Amino acid sequence: MRVIIHFYPRKSRLNDDGQLPIYVRFTVKSKRVDLSTGLFIQPKHWSDAKGRVKDRAPYAYNVNERLDKLKTEIQDYFNQLRSSGEDYSVKTIKDYLLQVTNSKGILEIFDYYLESILAKLNKGYSMETYKHYKSSRKRLATFIRFKYKQNDFPVEKIKFAFLDAFDVYLKQKFKVHQNTAWNYHKHLRRILNLAISMEHISKNPYNKYKVGLEPTHREILTIEELTRLEEKEIQIERMSVVRDIFVFACYTGLSYSDIYKLNKSHLHKGIDKKDWIIIDRTKTSNRCRIPLIPEAKRILNKYSNYPKNENSGKLLPVLTNQKMNSYLKELGDICNINKDITMHIARHTFATSVTLANGVPIETVSKILGHTSLKTTQIYAKVLDQKISEDMDLLQTRLSEKKKAI
């Protein structure tokens, strides 16, 4: 299968200047299309044998160069169509050259969804959600330009091959991990579901294309490590502040973004007449109800009159997440904790070492963490099972040594 391309002057369209318009004819599967190139020629300057302007014509180089570029463009697009495995015809090439489309582009629908998120900020959607989807839209746009040399792609033409090529592109071009790629696919799947709701397509191509998640290791601190960090004497104020905020997160399960916005309006008396934090999560807007245990209250009391909190109205002097994590790495070295400590590890530590390991029911932990599903909390239980297994292996070793000694 090939495309046949031919240029010719349209003799029936002689204009007032005595020039003829140059047309291009391309044929695919015995079907042909004739389109104007927008170029004109004096009849005497055209070579029918070569299908181009005679070399001695005064404007031969410029016109022939433009014809060559158009020919290359048609040939390249035909090659893409042929290798894509999708159905196409000579009209497909015509519509491409005329930039004609009768369908919605996937990026156009993506933009609609982004505008919808912005309109609903803090009313079911967070700025973090918007940023994540915007990042996915950017990756998808670069893929479409790279793979198809287009600014958008018809949503009804997205099939298995498109999704698989997108997956390969993400992993080869940006070296993303399988689970990161899964997140990009999750966003695109949501946009395609929106396209179904808008009646642009009838079914989601992800029904046939599956993207798996790889098991991840969630780093946590043991109670011994947390205690070591908590009781360490630190003379440098900035390091001490970061340590205290991290420990506070370990005893409340709050994420960095939620601690950052924490203020007096989030402090309440609970049903037990004790102090609670009641806050809507930044990520999901789910409400968290967290009883304050003494270790967490002690830190809030320590910073109740902290100068840097007075103007902001916040309860803790939280730095940027990047700075916090940078200082936490230093703290890990100071406390001889051979783990890559970040603010998010505090949330994992609360779920495992602080609560589940001490008999707090998983349903209670899930509610405190503000998880939308108990399945999310069960991930932490798996981490805990791994620790139990390691401890039992150690126990078996010690028992064997004692038996040998006897």
Residue 203 belongs to domain with CATH number: 1.10.150.130
Do 342 and 371 belong to one domain? Answer: yes
Summarised one tens digit per residue, pLDDT across range 235-272 is: 999 999 999 999 999 999 999 999 999 999 999 998 89
Structural domain contains residue 8: yes
User: Lowest-pLDDT range, 1-5, 96-100, 338-342?
Assistant: 96-100
Nearest to 258 by CA among 285, 298, 230: 285
Backbone phi and psi for residue 104, each to the nearest 5 degrees, phi listed first: -85, 140
Rounded Cα distance, 389 and 348, in Å: 19
Query: Do 240 and 356 fall within a single domain?
Result: yes
Q: For residue 322, what are the contacts with CB-CB under 8 A and spacing of at least 6?
A: none
- 240 with 383, same domain? yes
pLDDT digits (tens, 9 = 90+) for 312-326: 778 999 999 899 999
**Structural domain containing residue 202:** 106-207
Asked whether 228 and 335 are in contact (CB, 8 A), the reply is: yes
Structure-block tokens of residue 64: 């022939």
Q: What are the tokens at 348?
A: 């994992």
User: What Cα–Cα distance (Å) separates residue 382 from each residue in 2, 348, 367?
Assistant: 57, 12, 18
Q: How many domains, the chain? A: 3
Name the token pair of 149: 């040399």
What pLDDT, on a 0 to 100 scale, did the predictor assign at position 138?
A: 97
Q: What is the mean pLDDT of the chain?
A: 90
**Is pLDDT of 377 > 90?**
no
Q: Are residues 312 and 382 in the same domain?
A: yes
- The 3-state DSSP class for residue 317 equals coil
Residue for token digits 């491409």? 96
pLDDT recorded at residue 283: 76
